[in-house]
Structure 1
Amino acid sequence: MRRFLVHPIVLVTVMGAAVAPANAATAVPHIRGTSTVPVYSYADAIRESVWVKTPLDNDHDGVPDKVAVDIVRPRTGNVRVPVIMQASPYYGCCGRGNEKELKEYDAAGTIAKLPLFYDNYFVPRGYAVIAVDIAGTGRSTGCTDTDGREDTLGAKAAIDWLNGRAEATYADGSPAVATRWSNGRVGMVGKSADATVTNGVAATGVDGLKTVVPIAATSSGYDYARRNGVLVAPNMNEYLFNLVTSRPAEACARTLEHIDTGSDDATGNYNAFWAERDLRPHASKVRASVFLVHGLNDGNVMTNHFALWWNALRVPRKLWLSQGGHLDPFDFRRDEWVRTLHRWFDFYLQGLRNGIDREPPVSMETSPGTWTDQPTWPAPGAHQVRVRLGDGERTWVDDPDLWADAAAADPNAQVAGRIAFLSAPLTRDLRISGIPAVTVRVQVDKPTTALTARLVDYGTTPRVNTVWPNEGIRTLDTESCWGESTAADDACYRDTVADVVTSDHAILSRGWQDAAHRVSLRFRVPLQPGRWYSIRVPMQAMDQTVRAGHVLGLTLQQSDFEYTTPTTTGATVRMDLSGSHLTLPVVGSARLSHLAAAAPRVEATATTSGHKAIERQRKSWMY
């Protein structure tokens, strides 16, 4: 779609009136100094549900769609409070957090349990916490459209209601007015699909949204469902729709048909359907501060989702990068996460000048359990270095049965369907921070083929084990508590520790490109057999250090049925090494001029594979 060079961006500090204390004229019981403190009873909190009218009617019943909003708020008398908001499609089907918590209601239909710790911890400290059922899920009407306008504008309507710009009713039809208790200041938080909605609402620039905390969020629906023209899995958006919908099939048949035709699996093209789900062009509309969290080894929501969004933002922002996979920081850095999130919300929602805006904005896990702070991301001094891949030619045939473990292991062995390139053992540490890419000059004997690239660190060291389903953690039998509890909603969660293993290699970054989409993701241009093409394979953002004594490797293959579902053509690829190169965003003066081909020419026999996108991936989508 675009060619990206990632450059450091200096933190923009825009403060002043935007974070003025919401109740500056009066003494506020829950504020002491520069922090909120737990003074309100969680057990005695007000629990209620309202239905907020949205501007859409995508179930075509002639009535505006309504999103269900469950509220837990403190009894503060005349003190109006800010709101922490979660909007999710998963409250009724799949659960939230490591323990897969669902919403629970009492016999009267009143919310009794909200998932996660936010209400237990923050309500006693003077925050209301609300949980929004995305349209067509839970108790909402309308139809989810998997990160489209309905999902975004439904969640936005809840913020409009909190600021007196939208209507809502209780279950009995009586009007619900939020401005009696809400001061209009809202912070959104969520992981995965919830975080994608959070990004989408922020990109509307809605008034009242002061900060967002997206965890493992997508920033482009196309990049989640496609790898530069290569299909991730068939019918992905339809699968997600059917996973979360709570509406009768006939109510949302037209929406589901639109998702099916709009996503256009047959071509893999970027089109109007995907443009609606592409947030990056709208980053300039974001007015809220942003606290991003992402795993550097997230194999579900790939790292370019955070990197391209982060670099497009022009608001106050903060970033945590872990060595884990698709994880919530509550499960890999719990104490520090709760403390930091508390200070972040206090600053942006309560107006308390606690100094968090003056701290280094980037915190990164450099090795298991070791965190370091830095002023920007990519790392200061990161610059693009071109690495040669040698001379001569290599030829290989597509082998759809070749999976990543076999393709990355033992790079000096002859493996049908892949070629490998290796550096000499490094004489000093090599830090790579940013988005790498490989450009290959190739002839292909078919109209197209998928091209797959991987950067590999060969060297024995302890690493976080991010294999699904644990994603880098082990869940213990012990518990710790974060806030106050009731009989229906306790604040205690099972403890976790990092799952660390010692391994002799690790994949640092992956990249894919459909050769027929080399010119544009909007259309295909078939290859002509016998003609040479230079094709760029963009890889995923990374920040890893290859240690002295280790070897940096690059592997290339065609079909990757572990992370994609390509149309396997059985192509033979002939590669001109002198016309090909790797581009690395390198930090500092460490030098790497070339990689050498690791194995002699390999001729393989094309095979026909029955692989589909593996069940591991289908089970992990967006949770």
Structure 2
Amino acid sequence: MSGLRMRSVAVVAGAGVMLAIAAAPAGAAGTPAHIRGGETVPVYSYEDAVRESVWVQTTLDNDQDGVPDKVAVDITRPRAAVKVPVILEASPYYSCCGRGNESELKQYDANGVITKQPLFYDNFFVPRGYAFVAADIAGTNRSTGCMDVGGREEVLSAKAVVDWLNGRARATYADGTPAVATRWTNGKTGMIGKSWDGSVANGVAATGVEGLETIVPISAISSWYDYQRYNGVLRTNDYPEYLHRVVNGRPAGVCDQVVKQLDEGSDDATGNYNAYWAERDFRPDARRVHASVFIAHGINDTNVTTTQFARWWERLDVPKKIWLAQQGHVDPFDIRRGEWVDTLHRWFDRWLQGLRNGIDREPQATIETAPGTWVNERSWPASAARTTRVALGNGDGSTGTLGGKVNGGSRTWSDAPDLSEDVAVASPNSAVPGRVSFLSAPLTQPVRISGTPTVTLKVQVDKPTTELTARLVDYGTANRVNYLGRGEGITTLTTESCWGASTTFDDACYRDTAEDVVTSDHAIVTRGWQDAAHHVSLRFVTPLRPGRWYSVTVPLQPTDQRIAAGHVLGLILQASDNEYSTPQSTGATVRLDLRGSSLSLPLVGKLPAPGATAPTVPAAPPSGKRVAPPRFQPLLPG
């Protein structure tokens, strides 16, 4: 940065590059030029936009160098004499991993001035009278401090940016001169981001910071415990330290103390929920959120699982909206691009520009029910869903039944750590060591599962604990989004479409995508995991006594899926699961009392009464995607 003040520089557009219209005068009666017909329109030059960087001072010093930690903030805003609202994305990924389907990074000129911001937000919204601000979370890219993975440093470093935008925090340019945001912004801020970025938005909103008017968390975390633990089951060892290493932007040794705190606080040895995890749990502070919230999430997201949005959503008492797609960990920009950009535009216009466009009076929920089929509904979960208790029947003594009267019986199985999901669910009528299965009768009418299923198991275990894994399966041939494929439900095409204005250094054009759809004879509806020794509380371990019966409830991931008439609903139970977690496999033998066990479904419609034995489901060969499952490999919430 060589002591230069990072002010705007002119960027010359190349031939054929899209440009916004030059700045226009204010409209009638003082209406800003960018507001016409009840919406914002592109009137400000993107080529000539102000591009600058500032460093915002936080209230923390967790790198312990005696100087308050500073957050590097890159800004793109209209060069016009009008105060504009801000769209803010705070991220740890701007230099290590990139953003979006094309993994875009920030880029700077020789003087350190920002020339390219990732994603389309600046290209699309700056000409429409918004500023786009991209902040490097503490300890990443050009910021100081140390990344503490969902903790106070992370959240408060992003909050400091909102405070600065509202005149409550200090910032300087690279040469040390003061940077004052209130000269160009009215302070109204909206935060957006996918995965880790959206998690930061959730955390900042939970502080109740003044000036944050709306957030758009996409595939975002609301509890870091639930991201790195499944009810006491570890996803992988040393997960916080791994995440810190990937995004860390500080010199070697600077953050060793913070890494040590991550290791000790996360407490892999017990899997308990403790003060460390409580600091990283935003849900209890949902009452402090006053910003409106627009959530987007993949119903089949196996990275940031669906409990993250559902438990956050149910606690929010603010204007809110939700999009649920059939993909995995995918941004809606890469699923339903035109509709998403239009809806996001209207959402920001409503909450940041104050335009009464009616979006807050429209149906709350937009849901993909099948590949390419979307419906709008008044609320989520479905208002017609009723909690339905489904008995586990003995069936033929091998394959059990779902529904009907409780008729007793039992099942016994032993932990089989190498049992893959594909093998466990492929042939429910066959005896498979390490798993037991229960099937409904073929459905006489379609049903819908909308909300959070649970399964309560009355068990005896011959070890102090065991993991318990449950899966609901839709057995029946259908076209389905291939969320387990490489693109998690999308295919990236060779064509491009453009979403905003461009410069030589920052174009608004992105590869088009298409849904990846396959025909399959079964699909996982939802999954759930529980460490049996945490059946009393996640805060402490209660070892099981051999020979004693315990009631253990396994919560499954929230979902919204429709199951067609003629299909069969299956429940598959096993012990440890090495594909989605890194369990402490104990080799336990589990005995299940059917009379004391049941499945609870948030159901629209009815399951048919079962026959004397379970129906025969055609045996399907395992897909081959995970024949010999390795232990869970660490994921980035990105």
TM-score normalised by L of structure 1: 0.93
Tell me the alpha carbon deviations over residues 51-99 of structure 1, each in whole angstroms, 9 at most, x when there is no partner.
000000000000000000000000112x100000000000010000000
Say yes or no: does 1:265 pair with 2:268.
yes
CA distance in 2, matches of 1:23, 1:584: 55
User: 5 Å matches for 1:501-580?
Assistant: 501-580=518-597
Asked if the contact 1:105/1:111 (under 8 Å) is kept, the reply is: yes
Task: State the AA in 2 paired with 1:508.
Answer: V
**Match of 1:42?**
46
**Match of 2:145?**
142
Unmatched 5+ residue regions in structure 1? Answer: 1-21, 600-609
Q: Residues 569 and 24 (structure 1 numbering): CA distance in 2 closer, same or farther, change over 3 Å?
A: farther
Q: Residues 404 and 562 (structure 1 numbering): CA distance in 2 closer, same or farther, change over 3 Å?
A: same
CA distance in 2, matches of 1:24, 1:164: 29
Asked if the contact 2:442/2:608 (under 8 Å) is kept, the reply is: no
Tell me the alpha carbon deviations over residues 163-213 of structure 1, each in whole angstroms, 9 at most, x when there is no partner.
000000000000000000010000000000000000000000100000000
Unmatched 5+ residue regions in structure 2? Answer: 1-25, 394-407, 617-627
CA RMSD of aligned residues (A): 1.6
Task: State the AA in 2 paired with 1:544.
Answer: Q
**Match of 1:61?**
65
**Match of 2:279?**
276
**Match of 1:19?**
none
Measure how far apart 1:248 and its partner are. 1.4
**1:590 paired residue among 584, 602, 606:** 606
User: 5 Å matches for 1:114-513?
Assistant: 114-390=117-393, 391-513=408-530
Task: Give 3-state SS (helix, strand or coil) of 1:161's partner.
Answer: helix
Task: State the AA in 1 paired with 2:484.
Answer: V
Task: Give 3-state SS (helix, strand or coil) of 2:254's partner.
Answer: helix
Asked if the contact 1:269/1:522 (under 8 Å) is kept, the reply is: yes
Measure how far apart 1:381 and its partner are. 1.6
CA distance in 2, matches of 1:593, 1:254: 60
Q: Residues 494 and 152 (structure 1 numbering): CA distance in 2 closer, same or farther, change over 3 Å?
A: same
**Match of 2:11?**
none
Task: Give 3-state SS (helix, strand or coil) of 2:51's partner.
Answer: strand
Asked if the contact 2:443/2:607 (under 8 Å) is kept, the reply is: no
CA distance in 1, matches of 2:29, 2:281: 42
CA distance in 1, matches of 2:183, 2:232: 50
Tell me the alpha carbon deviations over residues 377-411 of structure 1, each in whole angstroms, 9 at most, x when there is no partner.
11012111000001211110100000111111111
CA distance in 2, matches of 1:453, 1:590: 21
Measure how far apart 1:508 and its partner are. 0.6
Asked if the contact 2:440/2:607 (under 8 Å) is kept, the reply is: no
Task: State the AA in 2 paired with 1:613.
Answer: R
Asked if the contact 2:493/2:513 (under 8 Å) is kept, the reply is: yes
**Aligned residue pairs: how many?**
588
Say yes or no: does 1:613 pair with 2:631.
yes
Measure how far apart 1:612 and its partner are. 5.5
CA distance in 1, matches of 2:70, 2:485: 36
Measure how far apart 1:614 and its partner are. 3.2
**1:28 paired residue among 32, 37, 52:** 32
Measure how far apart 1:466 and its partner are. 0.6
Measure how far apart 1:460 and its partner are. 0.2
Asked if the contact 1:565/1:612 (under 8 Å) is kept, the reply is: no
Q: Residues 86 and 120 (structure 1 numbering): CA distance in 2 closer, same or farther, change over 3 Å?
A: same
CA distance in 1, matches of 2:317, 2:521: 40
Say yes or no: does 1:107 pair with 2:110.
yes
**Match of 1:622?**
637
Q: Residues 269 and 25 (structure 1 numbering): CA distance in 2 closer, same or farther, change over 3 Å?
A: farther
CA distance in 2, matches of 1:38, 1:594: 61
Asked if the contact 1:232/1:613 (under 8 Å) is kept, the reply is: no
Task: State the AA in 1 paired with 2:158.
Answer: A
CA distance in 2, matches of 1:206, 1:33: 32
Tell me the alpha carbon deviations over residues 474-528 of structure 1, each in whole angstroms, 9 at most, x when there is no partner.
0000000000111110000000000000000000110100000000000001100
Asked if the contact 1:88/1:132 (under 8 Å) is kept, the reply is: yes
Asked if the contact 2:90/2:200 (under 8 Å) is kept, the reply is: yes
Asked if the contact 1:420/1:597 (under 8 Å) is kept, the reply is: no
CA distance in 2, matches of 1:598, 1:51: 65
Measure how far apart 1:278 and its partner are. 0.6
Identity of aligned residues (%): 66
Task: State the AA in 1 paired with 2:541.
Answer: R
Task: Give 3-state SS (helix, strand or coil) of 1:157's partner.
Answer: helix
Asked if the contact 1:43/1:485 (under 8 Å) is kept, the reply is: yes
Task: Give 3-state SS (helix, strand or coil) of 1:141's partner.
Answer: coil
CA distance in 1, matches of 2:223, 2:631: 20
Measure how far apart 1:24 and its partner are. 11
Task: Give 3-state SS (helix, strand or coil) of 1:151's partner.
Answer: helix
CA distance in 2, matches of 1:24, 1:577: 73
Task: State the AA in 2 paired with 1:351.
Answer: G
Asked if the contact 2:410/2:593 (under 8 Å) is kept, the reply is: yes
CA distance in 2, matches of 1:613, 1:148: 27
Measure how far apart 1:594 and its partner are. 6.0
CA distance in 2, matches of 1:300, 1:93: 19
Measure how far apart 1:272 and its partner are. 0.3
Q: Residues 89 and 24 (structure 1 numbering): CA distance in 2 closer, same or farther, change over 3 Å?
A: farther
Measure how far apart 1:613 and its partner are. 3.1
Task: State the AA in 1 paired with 2:411.
Answer: R
Measure how far apart 1:469 and its partner are. 3.2
Q: Residues 458 and 250 (structure 1 numbering): CA distance in 2 closer, same or farther, change over 3 Å?
A: same
Tell me the alpha carbon deviations over residues 270-329 of structure 1, each in whole angstroms, 9 at most, x when there is no partner.
000000001110000000000000000000011111111001000000000000100100
Task: Give 3-state SS (helix, strand or coil) of 2:314's partner.
Answer: helix
Q: Residues 228 and 25 (structure 1 numbering): CA distance in 2 closer, same or farther, change over 3 Å?
A: farther
